[in-house]
Amino acid sequence: MAASRFINRLVDRVDKIDPESLQSHLLRLAQEHGFLETIFQSIQEGILVINMDGLLIYANRAAEGMVGLDFAKSKGRSVVRLLRSWGWEHLLEPRRDSEEDWARVVTREIELTYPDHRYISVYAKPFKGAAEDGHGVLIILRDISRERNLEASVIESERINAVKNLAAGLAHEIGNPLNALNIHLQLLLRELDEVKDDAVRQSLKDLATVARSEIERLHAINTQFLGAIRPQKAELKPEHPEQILQETLNVMRMEFENRRINVSLELSESIPVVHLDAAQIKQVYFNVLKNAIEAMPDGGALRIVFSVGDIFVDIAFIDTGCGIAPEELGRVFEPYHTTKQKGNGLGLMIVQRILEEHGGEIELSSKQGEGTRFRIRLPRSERRVRQLSASGTETHD
């Protein structure tokens, strides 16, 4: 190594060098050492140097963090146990004469659980000049946890997509016989009009009506399930979010009146146009409003408040219902998780996915016994355009 040869030459000639020259050479050596040390301590890769007795010669800060050692305390101490746990103690074995000039390099990916769980790519190379006997091992460590986690995420995503496709096909096949059953029950109800015995006719009609109602419920669950696992791509157009909400409220007006729920709508002075899929946002509104209705079975009040920020148009739905228990808050958006007797646990998951497709988000806050607030956030159209022109790839904030 160049630095070692420089030191050897310096030692050989130290008696012949005048004090000023010696001071200059020592200063140069200190500067080179400091420069290299700064580089080694700055890089993200860990560096370990071990002599052929298994004693630690050098470790930079990155290596200390990855392996969980303190170089100041471990310098000169054996790290054979570390190499043994990695399966590399053979690197310290002396080479046979026939292999003296052979270069050895070992690479491996290992999983560490201490001091933190992480995956490390390790490169090891025996070399000359690191110790008194002229041999040592250089080990370079690189944290690949992010790459491994990303790879695992891709595999999991592919597995989930395969399950979704299978489930979508199954749901589609279930939908066909449900439609057929519904049609035949309609025909059966018509035929029952020909039954002369009033009591028998009414009894059979009641049974057929119950069966048809259950089939319609199964069809609604099946449709929501399909929408949850294979959502339609949003077709974004300039729309007025407050107008879409007003249309949804008009459709649900009788349900609010029957439940004795007073609805108030508070609009800001100027609500901008937002690029959104009107049908999908109407579904978002419907599901959130349905949640509020079911949270107030004995009546109550629902405030809907629009507000406009620099990035989002916010719509807050604040009810005076039963609220949500703290232990349930984190699971509200999970599929099939519901606290309702007739719920299927898909509504809020669909809401979340639609908003994500729009580049928006939903926030939830609640206090048990007092009420719940859902806040829908839709990105402003001009903000979306500004992001697109700036990056070329971003579609939302």
Classify domain 149-229 at the CATH topology level: Helix Hairpins (1.10.287)
Distance CA 269, CA 258 (A): 31
Residue 388 has pLDDT above 50, yes or no: no
Looking at residue 14, what is its pLDDT? 54
Looking at residue 167, what is its pLDDT? 67
Q: Where are the domains of the chain?
A: 43-143, 149-229, 237-391
pLDDT by residue (tens digit) across 229-264?
A: 665 677 889 999 999 999 989 888 888 998 999 999
Q: Do β-strands 274-276 and 56-59 pair in parallel, antiparallel, or remain unpaired?
A: unpaired
pLDDT by residue (tens digit) across 92-127?
A: 776 665 555 566 677 888 888 888 888 888 888 887
Distance CA 397, CA 393 (A): 11
Average the pLDDT over each of 5-19, 171-185, 275-289 and give the range with the smallest value.
5-19
| The two three-digit tokens of residue 281, written as one number | 């946002």
The CATH classification number of 43-143 equals 3.30.450.20
The CATH classification number of 237-391 equals 3.30.565.10
DSSP 68-81: T--HHHHTTSB-HH
* Confidence band of 390 (pLDDT split at 50, 70, 90): very low
Looking at residue 115, what is its pLDDT? 84
Strand partners, 263: 302
Residues 52-66: what's their mean pLDDT?
Answer: 89
Phi-psi domain of 336 (left: phi exceeds 0; alpha: psi -120 through 50; beta: other): left
0.85 exceeded by the pTM? no
Is the CB of residue 70 less than 8 Å from the CB of residue 64?
yes
Residue 278 has pLDDT above 80, yes or no: yes
Residues 79-84: what's their mean pLDDT?
Answer: 80
Residues 270-283: what's their mean pLDDT?
Answer: 88
Looking at residue 338, what is its pLDDT? 58
Distance CA 255, CA 250 (A): 10
Distance CA 292, CA 260 (A): 12
Looking at residue 389, what is its pLDDT? 38
Looking at residue 385, what is its pLDDT? 43
Looking at residue 387, what is its pLDDT? 41
pLDDT by residue (tens digit) across 140-191?
A: 899 988 888 887 777 777 776 666 666 666 666 777 788 788 788 888 888 8
Strand partners, 362: 376
Higher pLDDT, 45 or 335: 45
Q: How high is the mean pLDDT of the chain?
A: 78
Is the CB of residue 278 less than 8 Å from the CB of residue 239?
yes
Is the CB of residue 329 less than 8 Å from the CB of residue 310?
no
To which H or E segment does residue 123 belong? Answer: strand 118-128
Higher pLDDT, 270 or 335: 270
Handedness of CA 155, 156, 161, 166 (dihedral sign): positive
Please report which residue ranges of 193-269 form alpha helices under DSSP H. Answer: 198-229, 241-251, 253-258
Closest by CA to 176, choosing from 219, 221, 229, 208, is 219
Domains 149-229 and 237-391 belong to one CATH topology: no
Residues 6+ apart with CB under 8 A from 45: 62, 140, 141, 142
Q: What is the 3-state secondary structure (H, E, C) of 312-375?
A: EEEEEEEECCCCCCHHHHCCCCCCCCCCCCCCCCCHHHHHHHHHHHCCCEEEEEEECCCEEEEE
Looking at residue 393, what is its pLDDT? 35
